[in-house]
């Protein structure tokens, strides 16, 4: 078959395939999809309206609560405060359930959109394959033979025009695939954001439920105290004051540094939070996690700046790769000189499991080269020229700055958890990598405990 016969047949085939794809069934399917989309949009609008109403109620309850907290201490006022907190928490739970329902619908829609885009890519690829096959058939035709045949030259050039048209169709198809791929990636990112938002809402929902349980238990305790037993109420206040004192004086463990009172740790964390917007409880949880990890790993001294070799400070055993000489030894020497420390008598971390390199410094466990990158920002935040990695205040600020860079300043559950995973391994949390996700989950559990059992009792929340 010559090219003059191939092209008309092929073009007619394309036209016919285009026409037959628009079937009554597909029209019905499109109508159904349109109806579903309309219903989903209506449901979303209703949820958003109800959510806005609830948020207004919550704001009113918060204003009422702020007013009650400003009043003098009394048994009746404490009961009123708890009642308002319980009612506000119940509204929070209702709002979070609505948010989760709304996000659930949006997540389903996004997944369907991604599936549709994937199908579209597959169809475009098949269409492109057909175009390429037809082009190959034409390329294989004997052009010389056609020029020497009885066919008119004008007909030949017409066939060539059609050939160029197919090439343009190929180019358009490739561009279409690229465009759909870009849109698919955008939809996937949006889906991930909504899934994170759903995780955040569930975490907030659980927090509100725990708040109700605590408040109702405390309210029950207060209601058991009759008006004629004011002394019992005063005893209760004394117990709370004693608990606050115990929390403030409790030792906060730090890796490769002496433990400090929780009062100081909270002060450093609060200062760092003011500069970076990283939540104090989360920052304290990170450093607690690092301290716990450091307990079993020991620490080392650098002994040979040329090779990076050193010794374990407890065992005295020689360790070849305490610090990477080409990357960290020179910064380490500069850092220790700047803060007046002897580099050969300053603790750094040992390599984990004997592989890789150690050399991480102080409570925040930064290697020297990374600390140098952050040193100017740490110093500016604290108003000093030479921040000290082994000084708790400086270490808190360093961790907060780095965690803010990793997204923890958003203060949502998913943002903090992913920042913790990145702090540990350089990657976001991934269920397929249990060790990485375990670190993030553990930090978030510690943060919850520190917030609810240490920080909240100090603030009276």
- Domain coordinates of the chain in residue numbers? 3-223, 251-459
Closest to 130 in 3D by CA, of 173, 160, 161, 162: 173
Distance CA 417, CA 442 (A): 9
| Res. 326 pLDDT band, cuts 50 70 90 | very high
Residue 304 contacts by C-beta under 8 Å, 6 or more apart in sequence? 310
Give the fold, CATH level 3, of 3-223.
Helix Hairpins (1.10.287)
Task: Please report, in angstroms and rounded to a whole number, the separation of the first and last CA atoms in the chain.
Answer: 86
Longest C-alpha distance within the chain, in Å? 120
* Structure confidence by residue, pLDDT tens digits, 218-243: 778 777 775 556 677 777 778 888 88
Backbone angles phi, psi at 301, to 5 degrees: -115, 140
Q: Which of 112-121, 161-170, 426-435 is least confident?
A: 161-170
- Measured over the CA atoms of residue 414, residue 417, residue 419 and residue 422, the dihedral's sign is negative
Tell the residue number behind the tokens 């009961």, with chain if given.
79
Q: Which of 24-28, 125-129, 156-160 is least confident?
A: 24-28
Helix (H, G, I), strand (E, B) or coil at 348: strand
Q: What percent of the chain lies above the pLDDT cut of 90? A: 32
Per-residue pLDDT, 269: 96
* Structure confidence by residue, pLDDT tens digits, 336-356: 999 999 999 999 988 877 678
Distance CA 411, CA 8 (A): 64
- Are the CB atoms for 392 and 260 separated by under 8 Å? yes
Gyration radius (Cα) of the chain, Å: 33
| 400, pLDDT greater than 90 | yes
| Res. 149 pLDDT band, cuts 50 70 90 | low
Distance CA 325, CA 303 (A): 12
Indicate the pTM of the whole model. 0.63
Q: What percent of the chain lies above the pLDDT cut of 70? A: 75
Higher pLDDT, 360 or 227: 360
Distance CA 104, CA 108 (A): 6
Most confident region among 57-61, 91-95, 201-205, 401-405 by mean pLDDT: 401-405
């Amino acid at each position: 078959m010559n090219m003059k016969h191939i092209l008309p047949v092929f073009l007619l085939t394309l036209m016919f395939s285009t026409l037959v794809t628009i079937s009554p069934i597909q029209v019905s399917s499109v109508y159904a999809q349109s109806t579903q989309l309309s219903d989903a949009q209506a449901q979303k609008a209703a949820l958003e309206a109800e959510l806005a109403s609830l948020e207004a109620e919550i704001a009113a309850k918060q204003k009422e609560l702020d007013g009650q907290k400003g009043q003098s201490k009394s048994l009746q006022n404490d009961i009123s405060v708890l009642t308002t907190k319980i009612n506000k928490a119940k509204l929070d739970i209702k709002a979070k359930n609505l948010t989760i329902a709304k996000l659930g619908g949006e997540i389903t829609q996004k997944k369907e959109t991604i599936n549709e885009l994937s199908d579209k890519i597959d169809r475009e690829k098949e269409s492109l394959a057909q175009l390429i096959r037809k082009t190959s058939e034409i390329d294989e035709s004997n052009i010389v033979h056609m020029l020497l045949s009885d066919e008119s030259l004008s007909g030949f050039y017409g066939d060539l025009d059609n050939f160029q048209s197919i090439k343009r169709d190929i180019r358009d198809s490739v561009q279409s695939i690229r465009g759909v791929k870009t849109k698919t990636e955008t939809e996937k990112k949006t889906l991930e954001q909504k899934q994170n938002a759903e995780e955040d809402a569930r975490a907030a929902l659980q927090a509100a439920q725990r708040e109700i349980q605590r408040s109702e238990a405390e309210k029950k305790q207060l209601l058991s105290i009759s008006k004629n037993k004011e002394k019992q109420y005063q005893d209760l206040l004394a117990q709370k004051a004693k608990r606050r004192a115990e929390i403030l004086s409790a030792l906060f463990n730090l890796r490769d540094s002496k433990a400090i009172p929780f009062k100081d740790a909270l002060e450093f964390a609060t200062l760092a939070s003011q500069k970076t917007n990283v939540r104090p409880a989360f920052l304290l949880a990170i450093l607690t996690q690092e301290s716990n990890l450091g307990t079993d790993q020991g620490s080392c001294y650098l002994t040979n700046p040329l090779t990076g070799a050193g010794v374990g400070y407890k065992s005295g055993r020689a360790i070849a790769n305490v610090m990477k000489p080409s990357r960290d030894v020179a910064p380490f020497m500069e850092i220790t000189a700047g803060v007046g420390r002897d580099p050969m008598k300053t603790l750094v971390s040992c390599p984990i499991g004997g592989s890789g390199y150690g050399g991480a410094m102080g409570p925040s466990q930064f290697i020297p080269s990374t600390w140098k990158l952050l040193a100017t920002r740490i110093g500016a935040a604290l108003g000093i020229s030479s921040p000290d990695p082994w000084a708790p205040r400086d270490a808190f600020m360093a961790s907060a700055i780095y965690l803010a860079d990793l997204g923890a300043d958003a203060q949502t559950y998913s943002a903090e958890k992913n920042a913790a995973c990145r702090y540990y391994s350089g990657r976001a949390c991934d269920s397929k990598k249990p060790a990485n996700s375990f670190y993030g989950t553990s930090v978030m559990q510690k943060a919850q405990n520190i917030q609810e059992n240490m920080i909240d009792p100090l603030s009276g929340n």
